[in-house]
């Protein structure tokens, strides 16, 4: 019924109970998960793949996170190009821009983002975008370097405005919401969540981060995406089952379109 379109399952927080978290996810109605690869650094681009290869309903991505853009070397781009052609790697990501922490220089972030868009286009893979406090630059680069490929992607852990979401949707992106949409101070985010067309909506955990209410303060995991989905469904005035069915169809379309 529900999907987690963005999970960092390779993180050490899950080393003690990784197998059990998949059991808890199924028990909570979460059937499909997209495991990120590379968020632990560009030397670990295959981290999501290792998890996905062991499970039928888990797919993976690979990408150099904007935090690590300064560490990106030619060998990392070469390996990403190889990984992006594998059936279980359904997207290149998460990639993008992060002007909040500025862990890498902004010009380097932009250059690494464009380089990875080129790799994704060559492999005919969509992209998973991380964007924080950089929406003008990020959307401009997507419009200049990505739109023409008509491969779309996911705007992960969406934090922009409705206008930002519309620009992404026009380029074929799904808009994904994480547990922060349930936080008391996230009213502006909730206002966007009720407007995104159902056929462009996704849910995620971004686990182990952004645990939704009522588990806020605990480690996040895929089973908790149900709370995010139910919260958005209440905001939209529809049954949780309807929202779950829509997000499941969206993720399966995203995966199947790029693995055929």
> Each residue of 26-36: pLDDT tens digit?
999 999 999 99
Q: pLDDT digit string (tens) for 229-256?
A: 999 999 999 999 999 999 999 999 999 7
SS3 call for 159: coil
Domain count along the chain: 1
The whole-number pLDDT of residue 231 equals 98
Q: pLDDT digit string (tens) for 110-149?
A: 999 999 999 999 999 999 999 999 999 999 999 999 999 9
Q: What is the mean pLDDT of residues 176-194?
A: 98
The whole-number pLDDT of residue 68 equals 98
Token representation of residue 42: 């560009």
Residue 64 has pLDDT above 90, yes or no: yes
Torsion sign across C-alpha atoms 67, 73, 77, 78: negative
pTM above 0.95, yes or no: yes
The whole-number pLDDT of residue 259 equals 46
Domain of 213, CATH number, reads 3.20.20.140
Residue 258 has pLDDT above 70, yes or no: no
Q: pLDDT digit string (tens) for 196-219?
A: 999 999 999 999 999 999 999 999
Residue 242 CA to residue 260 CA, distance in Å, equals: 27
> Confidence band (pLDDT; 50, 70, 90) for 102?
very high
Domain carrying residue 40: 2-257
Residue 105 CA to residue 92 CA, distance in Å, equals: 21
Whether 195 and 165 have beta carbons less than 8 Å apart is answered as yes
Task: Supply the Cα-derived Rg of the chain in whole angstroms.
Answer: 17
Mean per-residue pLDDT over the chain, rounded:
97
Q: What is the mean pLDDT of residues 58-77?
A: 98
The whole-number pLDDT of residue 256 equals 79
Buried b (16+ CB within 10 A) or exposed e, 8-46: bbbbebbeeeeeebbeebeebbbbbbbbbbbbbebeebb
- Asked whether the bond before 94 is cis by omega within 30 degrees of 0, the reply is yes
- What percent of the chain is predicted at pLDDT more than 90? 98
């Amino acid at each position: 019924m529900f999907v987690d379109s963005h999970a960092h399952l390779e993180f050490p927080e899950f080393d003690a109970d990784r197998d059990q978290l998949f059991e808890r996810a199924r028990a909570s109605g979460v059937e499909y998960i997209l495991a990120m690869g590379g968020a632990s650094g560009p030397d670990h681009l295959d981290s999501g793949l290792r998890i996905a290869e062991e499970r039928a309903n888990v797919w993976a991505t690979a990408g150099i996170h904007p935090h690590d853009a300064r560490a990106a070397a030619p060998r990392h781009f070469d390996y990403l190009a190889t990984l992006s052609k594998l059936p279980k790697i359904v997207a290149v990501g998460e990639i993008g821009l992060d002007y909040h922490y500025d862990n890498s220089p902004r010009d380097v972030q932009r250059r690494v983002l464009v380089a990875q868009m080129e790799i994704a286009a060559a492999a005919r893979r969509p992209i998973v975008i991380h964007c924080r406090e950089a929406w003008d630059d990020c959307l401009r680069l997507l419009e200049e370097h990505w739109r023409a490929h008509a491969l779309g992607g996911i705007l992960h852990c969406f934090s922009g405005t409705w206008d930002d979401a519309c620009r992404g949707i026009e380029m074929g992106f799904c808009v994904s919401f994480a547990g922060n949409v349930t936080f008391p101070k996230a009213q502006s985010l909730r206002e966007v969540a009720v407007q995104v067309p159902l056929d462009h909506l996704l849910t995620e955990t971004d686990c182990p981060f952004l645990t939704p209410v009522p588990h806020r303060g605990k480690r996040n995991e895929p089973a908790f995406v149900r709370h995010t989905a139910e919260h958005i469904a209440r905001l939209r005035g529809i049954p949780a089952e309807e929202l779950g069915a829509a997000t499941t169809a969206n993720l399966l379309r995203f995966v199947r379109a790029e693995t055929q």
